[in-house]
Structure 1
């Protein structure tokens, strides 16, 4: 599933290309992509609107539209596990698993999703439920600490909750906990203030590093590459895959890059969790 860095890279790519474009037609090929279900045709709400800006909120792609009386000013899209969103020439054939497309004045915006877990809509309730953005100044140790101390959940499980930190997923929680030197099986309400501050700094570093990494690579729009990287393709002009990005994720049995102990994998809340037993006590 795409996490905050992948969605951020995608938004940075799409925003300059979509700004100012008018929506000429909208087709929902699978109406269940709209959440919550709404009998109002999406084409009626969106046709003729002009795109002002594309931004990210957590893992959501938010398309801000020009104001119009009686209709929403924002349309969001969530890629789910396998969703992809990209621009293609207006006359190009639709790819397999297309769930929705927008005909614009200069191109076509396509939402493709093989497994069908992606969602979209104009009801902003899902956005309002999200926790703080980890790359904004409002994401402080005091704020995160208040969200951790009220729960007895294991730290890894708590950080996956989108009402606690918006945009974090399995990969970057594992990486952030390693960066901060904190065990994924610590109880959330038992972290010291200094440990929470260390965790906030680690989350920021890990996410920024991943965004820098993705920003340097070609985007693999259709997912035909073999790098197993969502949207992130190969370095321009290179025939070899990018270097390994992760400190612990999917490195079970490999030596820790900090202390040399073998990386372990356990399952927490149904998710594979990677950590170093030597330096994440």
Structure 2
């Protein structure tokens, strides 16, 4: 599932492509991704509206639009779910089988494609209210982080996946941050000491920033059965030397040697997710 770095890279890619573009028509093929917005409501709101800018909040894409029929700006929430893609296609290009929403933009079309339809493309932005601070926001301090962890009995790895704690951290980068901070993923959150919380907060910021700089974990250009088709998903170019997956230190490296101590990386399941860690460097 895409995490903060993947979404941030997608936002940076899409923003200059859609800003100031006017939506001429709206086609809904899978209304499930709009919930609770209805297809008719989305079509009415977006037709004739113009994108003003695009930002990210946690793992969400937040589209801002201005409609000539409305005084207040529109906000459209996007989420990639597990298999979502958002990209532009030439107006006359064929559409993929799993295109859920298509927005006409003149000579191009904005496509939200989602194989499993777990993603979201909706006018309902209430889910943003439950999010915690961004990893680089002034509110995400050592004091806040330690105090929030102290209120939970969950293992710290599981707690890091709670988006009300800090927005955007997912399974991959939680494992990576804990390794860099030298903290066991099994340790109870309430047992985290202030100095550990400080190191972990810094590790979260560093691993996310590095992932963004390196292009994150998946290739930029989606390669279909018939070769490259220009579909943007997220990440760096597939032939890039900065392909971030090669830089992950513990995630998906079961049995490989720890870069610090040489011990074999281990894996176990927490909250239905795989956790990777070094048994020596991250003692409970």
Q: How does the TM-score come out when normalised to structure 2?
A: 0.90
Q: Is the 8 A contact 2:252 2:276 kept in 1?
A: yes
More displaced stretch, 58-67 vs 165-174: 58-67
Q: What is the CA distance between 1:100 and its match in structure 2? A: 0.6
Give the one of 229, 239, 248 matched to 1:235.
239
1:257, distance to aligned residue in structure 2 (A): 0.6
Aligned residue number for residue 6 of structure 2: 6
Q: Which residue of 2 aligns with 1:268?
A: 270
Q: Report what 1:48 is aligned to.
A: 48
Separation (CA, whole Å) in 2 of partners of 1:217 and 1:2: 9
Q: Does 1:61 align with 2:61?
A: yes
Distance in structure 2 (CA, Å) of the matches to 1:254 and 1:32 = 41
1:52/1:95 Cα in 2 relative to 1: closer, same or farther (>3 Å)? same
1:221, 1:231 within 8 Å by CA — same for their partners in 2?
no
Aligned Cα RMSD in Å?
A: 2.4
Q: 1:181 to 1:126 in 2, by over 3 A?
A: same
Corresponding position of 2:246: 244
Task: Please state how far the C-alpha of 1:260 moved relative to its aligned partner.
Answer: 1.1
Task: State the secondary structure of the residue aligned to 1:27.
Answer: strand
Aligned residues: 277
CA contact (8 A) 1:86 1:221 kept: no
Q: Deviations over 1:123-178 (max 9, x none)?
A: 11111111111132322111222221111011011000111111111100000100
The answer on 1:279 being equivalent to 2:281 is: yes
Asked if 1:159 corresponds to 2:163, the answer is: no
| Deviation (angstroms), 1:106 | 3.8
Aligned match of 1:29: 29
- Which range moved further: 118-127 or 7-16? 118-127
Secondary structure in structure 2 of the residue aligned to 1:244:
helix
- Counterparts of 2:190 and 2:218 in 1: how far apart (Å)? 39
Superposition deviation, residue 54 in structure 1: 0.7
Q: Equivalents in 2 of 1:119, 1:14: separation in Å?
A: 17
Measured after TM superposition, the shift of residue 103 of structure 1 is: 0.6
For the residue of structure 1 that corresponds to 2:56, the secondary structure is strand
The question of whether the paired residues in 2 share the 8 Å contact of 1:216 and 1:235 is answered with no
Unaligned runs of 5+ in 1: none
Shift of the 243–111 alpha-carbon distance from structure 1 to 2, 3 Å rule, reads closer
Q: Give 1:74's aligned residue.
A: 75
Look up the SS of the partner of 2:251 in the other structure.
coil
Q: Segments of 4+ in structure 1 off by > 2 A? A: 37-41, 67-72, 135-138, 215-218, 221-225, 229-233, 240-243
TM-fit CA distance, 1:216: 11
Aligned partners of 2:261 and 2:281 also within 8 Å: yes
Q: Report the equivalent of 2:230.
A: none
Indicate yes or no: 2:202 matched with 1:201. yes
SS in 2 for 1:274: strand
Q: Look up the match of 2:18.
A: 18
